[in-house]
Structure 1
Amino acid sequence: MATKMENIGPAVIGLNTHNRHLIGQPKDINLLTHRFGDDWKKSLLLPAKDNRVKTSDVTATKGNEFEDYCLKRELLMGIFEMGWEKPSPIQEESIPIALSGRDILARAKNGTGKSGAYLIPLLERIDIKKDHIQAIVIVPTRELALQVSQISIQISKHLGGVKVMATTGGTNLRDDIMRLDEEVHVVIATPGRILDLIKKGIAKVNKVQMMVMDEADKLLSQDFVVTIEDIIGFLSKNRQILLYSATFPISVQKFMNSTQRVELLAKKITQLGCSCFYIHAKMMQEYRNRVFHDFRNGLCRNLVSTDLFTRGIDIQAVNVVINFDFPKNAETYLHRIGRSGRFGHLGLAINLITAEDRFNLKTIEDQLMTDIKPIPGSIDKSLYVAEFHSVNPDCEAEASHPGGGSEAH
């Protein structure tokens, strides 16, 4: 199947009623009719019609028209002047859902209209009266950033002032600083560059209402995923996230369901009678800071976290790490177990292993040249109980290898 749409969890599904006024009102239609007249299509500068044979990836539609989505007429003009006559299947499925404010995880083959599927609702929801960044599109390469920005500029040319900016690594940072000092509504960027601009306080993203990830399979690979989660951490809690990918690797699915798993696990631990904090990227920055502060000060002894925040935890009192979801590679494994035993202190890592994890376990053991042992019937308390450290200070030499965790089947 060429196109697949998935709604990601009940927590992120639902109509954002405060966005309804952006989808078009009768008074806007009357104004546009007066401005362009009923024959507005006749004034369009259409490209030559493409009569080449097309595959079912773009022709197997429901028969919808772009006018069916109550889009601004100026936006429709830009769409038609791009040569887009009717929405493709991915656009038919995606546009109305994106306009409603819901999160999207969409799969479609390359060349089937994914860019239009997210740029059309993104540009429809831009309010040019507001002088701040309202949408971010994250792409893995400079070439794709330039391509998407060019499409955005062309589609929005009749909208009367939508400001689109592309920024990628390897370009002059001073130019970006000067550009962001002016009005910018949409930023199309590679992950490292936009995060750098955000951390420097140059790109202010606290009012961003929509974040798009194009080629999400690449962006959520080990090369980018930590950067992506870091970017999301700076956004408003109410932001909308749209993911588009030609494939759905485990990394994409895990990313979109990971925050719910964190909350569910924390709830289960609490039900077992243990106090528990949790933290993930969908929380507001202020709340995440409070959780870290309280955890550091010992108000709670248990914290459930995603990989993003495990890399940021530097608390010497942390002495036990439990890998509920076993990591896929040695780098992530080291980052996780390194949260315990800080600054030369001892620590304990326990791994919960499923049958599917045994291959990753063997790979990590080989890469780290270590042996992750099955969990013993009795665990040496000097590894994780602070009071025992002073009783037997010489035990540190017994836990010096990097894979000093235990495997629990």
Structure 2
Amino acid sequence: MTSSILVVGAGMVGTCTALHLQQRGFEVLLLDRRAPGQETSFGNAGLIQREAVEPYAFPREPGFLLNAALGRGAEVNWHARGLWQMGGSLLRYFRQSSPAAHARATEAYSRLIAHATDEHELLLNAAVAQDLVKRDGFRLVFHTHQALDEAVQRAALLQARFGVRHQAESSAQLAQAEPALRLPLAGAVHWLDPWAVQDPGALVQRYADLFVARGGRLLKGEATGFQAQGAGWSVQTPEGRVQAEQAVLALGPWADGVIRTLGYRFPLFVKRGYHQHYRAPVALRQPLLDAERGYVLAPMQRGLRLTTGAEFAPLDAPPTPVQLAKAEALARQLLDLGEPLPEPPWMGARPCTADMLPVMGPAPRHKGLWFNFGHAHQGFTLGPVAGRLLAEMVHGQHPWIDPAPYLPARFG
């Protein structure tokens, strides 16, 4: 027997959820206001981060907090209205980032990350998308030996505990590996397991094409029309209102606005980010994170992509790409970026939770409604894992990862 289900949101998480539900015999309708992969999934650094076994904690170093408060550096920017709106969730985020709480979050988070590349591999093969992926890792580069030494020690601990492979590189080894770098740096931590995707939006589109080729329906529509109807759920589309027996909200940073209309108040917030492409005359061989200055440079099909750190601002606030200008100035010291492509900077938002774990599972007070959002910096990495885990719960299978830490019921 088949059962109909509506998946709202066609980013990496929503598209992979639709695919996994489809594989389990559901009749799936996948809805988004734009083409698949054109929102948050489009604008990231394109990394499938197998090494990212620790969620991003709220930084607690006094020097970092002072610089962030004063607007120094390229790592953080903030809007007063954003801090006001998100204040309660950010305070919980700060508390959950204590060493003991972060260690507990890492235990749960690492169980998801452990399967990231394996689950992507299955979809890459089925979607014939291997041409978009490079598998030689990425680098964290360091300007000072103290920061490098600390990072190498931390990487060794993570490798021993979680099996994520790395290689420490000296200044000379880094210069040989990346001859385009202009500055002599202290060295790098080369993470060996991550994959780099040269067009993140295109990968989501390939997965969506696979979904359609297997008989799935891809619809355009706004989530604002989402509501309970009869014994199921419905949403308005240009083709009229469509209805399904069950529904999954995979709306990333827009999930909070929808679940609030249903009476849910979860500690959610967003971190906005920006990117710009450049015509670098001599490209990097692999993506790199300038770990002490807070930006990423990633080779893409469109050019060299520069991505920023976090901006705490309301989801609907106008773009304020001050971090991009700061990051560009820093990056030009490191590399000849060339001219930017004649396009405005891209802006998007990462969907975050105060406890740093995604929200995956049944809605506590609504039958037939499921949540799959809040994957923060790693929705692109975790899409296939999140899709499989949610689909197993919907289908009534025994989940291959214990879903308890991620269930929506933890927020009441």
Question: Which structure has the larger Rg over C-alpha atoms?
Answer: 1
Whose helix proportion is higher, 1 or 2? 1
Q: Is the pair's TM-score, using the shorter chain for normalization, greater than 0.5? A: no
Whose strand proportion is higher, 1 or 2? 2
TM-score, normalised relative to structure 1: 0.22
